[in-house]
Amino acid sequence: MPGAAGGQARPGPAFTAGRQEGYGQAMEYTNLGRTGLSVSRLCLGTMNFGPLTDEQTSFAIMDRAHEVGLNFFDTANVYGRDIGRGATEQIVGRWFAQGGGRRERTVIATKLYGAMGDWPNEGRLSALNIRRACDASLRRMQTDYIDLYQMHHIDRTTPWDEVWEGMEVLRQQGKILYVGSSNFGGWHIAQAQETARARHFMGLVSEQCIYNLLTRDVEREVLPAAANYGLGVIPWSPLHGGLLGGVVRKEREGKRRLEGRAAETLQAKRAEIEAYEALCDDLGAEPSVVALSWLLSRPEVTAPIIGPRTAEQLEGALAALELQLDERAQARLEELFPGHKTSPEDFAW
């Protein structure tokens, strides 16, 4: 049996820790990786809170999430963008401060790595920044512990022993419960876990990565590494910046105009995306719902991150919990957006 840092492959989505009936939706729960922590099959992303969604609407979205049993929220210390880094965590903190069990019912995940200022040691994963960043996030969110503390990016300049010592101290102090990664490669996950194993530390319990029908690179090595070490997988950008959310129809109706990289991707993949939207029409489901339902059907996925700007967008995402894609639909999606085999079979034999 694998050691503490090795763990076992997480149970797939078929394992349900419980269901919460509410307002037409039945929320499913699963364990986060190899832990005993139960999280909802959808994760509420908060990156829009502040820059694009005002505080009152953000509060309403979080309250509604709890009403339907969604207990897993994701944020980061750098979120806030033009209104100031840390602003999103502050909004979450003021929501927690209202009481009513809001904090107790929430599994809150946040991240560190990005620079929070211009002075040295205000970013990355040194022991000093781990300590300072955690304390600052705790203050902003008005809580005394973080359920899942995630490294937003690999730090190639800090030794893993130093990183893990910093995290171990936080866990001993009761400031964090679990540690996760984000945007790691399969090799990074292996490095992290083998170092943690040598220290008799639990190590990573989750990996947050970009994963959707258009971007499936993680299937080569990241997903196999996560499964081997018992990490839950939390996909971000499940709609690939809106390209899987009905962009062609919205463009035709004059409701959406893409620029930059998203426009370039649409130009390159227009035929596939048009065929995708036609398939969604045949299924009688919104493209965004189909994209989320596909992720929920993947055995490696714990909970896709949805990032609603409005309460209506949250309601739309919840419909993915009810949609079951049949074999024909799954096969057609594979034709339109081919995936990857595990390395080395993906590029060799």
Q: In 3-state terms, what secondary structure has residue 5?
A: coil
Other CB atoms within 10 Å distance of the CB of residue 3: 13
* Residue 9 token pair: 């492959």
Catalytic annotation, residues? 79
38 close to 74: Cβ distance less than 8 angstroms: no
Burial class (CB in 10 A: 0-12, 13-18, 19+), 177: middle
Cα 157 to chain centroid, rounded:
25
220 Cβ partners below 8 Å, 6+ apart?
A: 186, 340, 341, 342, 343, 346
| Alpha carbons 279 and 288: distance in angstroms, whole number | 12
| Alpha carbons 193 and 205: distance in angstroms, whole number | 10
77 membership: H or E segment, kind and range = none
Q: Which residues pair with 21 in a beta bridge?
A: 26
Rg for the chain (alpha carbons), in Å? Answer: 20
